[in-house]
Amino acid sequence: MIEHNKVVVITGASSGIGEATAKLLTKRGDKVVLGARREERLQKLADEIKAEGGEVIYASTDVTKRSDVEALAKLAVDTFGRIDVWLNNAGLMPHSTFDKLHVDEWERMVDVNIKGVLYGIAAGLPVMREQKSGHFINVSSVAGHKTHPGGGVYSGTKYAVRAISEALRQEEAQAGSNIRVTILSPGAVATELPNTITDTDLKGGIDSLYSAVAIPAERIAETVAFVMDTPEDTAMNEIIIRPTIQLP
């Protein structure tokens, strides 16, 4: 029988996939450590989880700041003594065509979608190495498998997540550290992600796609729980999960 008492750090935890995952895991007995920029949202979520009897702590965390991510890891260890799972979930998706020159948005995506994952790995890996166990679950995207006009930079960041994750998997397998790595590549999920799009030529079409096909964030949360429960001698390395009727 699987024991549900793992310590799980979740970035991007104030809404969407992060919020849904925190609720699901705490209901089954896992302990969650929530990180996101919007502290008031974290407080509300933590209150809801505690009211249901769950164990939760949180810290205002900007994943583009290494010190914030390191502090989140320290909070987890100081409070619960370990980190069993690190869910690198924080992300942005401000699609735009290159000719719009939304360079600030490109840089922000690189900082959040790539550096945020790297900072999470840097904060969690030493703890997991010392424990000789652990699990990184890194959120990529179907856009990390196939790109399209307007999605070049976003896709680039999500391809990077896959490359980083696979290299980490190989390194830890070689080291015999018992650290597992899973890449989750969601399609259209009902989250706030499309809200970051400022290119008006693209936003309408993407909003229509999400309105027509997006699946609840709980579907991804259930997938996180599934890969966490895989026996420790087995690693579920990559999962693509999209709405049944989504074409791209």
In percent, how much of the chain has pLDDT > 70?
Answer: 100
Q: What is the pLDDT of residues 17-75, one digit of tens each?
A: 999 999 999 999 999 999 999 999 999 999 999 999 999 999 999 999 999 999 999 99
- Residue 117 has φ and ψ, to the nearest 5°, of -70, -45
Token pair of 235 as six digits = 């690693």
Mean pLDDT of 88-114: 98
Task: Give catalytic status of residue 154 as yes or no.
Answer: yes
For the domain spanning 7-239, the CATH number is 3.40.50.720
Three-state DSSP at 135 gives strand
Cα 170 from Cα 41, distance rounded (Å): 36
Neighbours of 43 (CB within 10 A): 14
Q: Which of 58, 119, 154, 159 is catalytic?
A: 154
Q: At what angle do helices 152-175 and 116-131 cross, to 10 degrees?
A: 10
* Domain locations in the chain as residue ranges: 7-239
Cα 144 from Cα 140, distance rounded (Å): 6
Amino acid symbol at 82 = R
pTM: 0.97
Q: What is the pLDDT of residues 153-211, one digit of tens each?
A: 999 999 999 999 999 999 999 999 999 999 999 999 999 999 999 999 999 999 999 99
Q: Report yes or no: 54 and 10 within 8 Å, Cβ to Cβ.
A: no
Closest CA to 166 of 221, 121, 113: 121
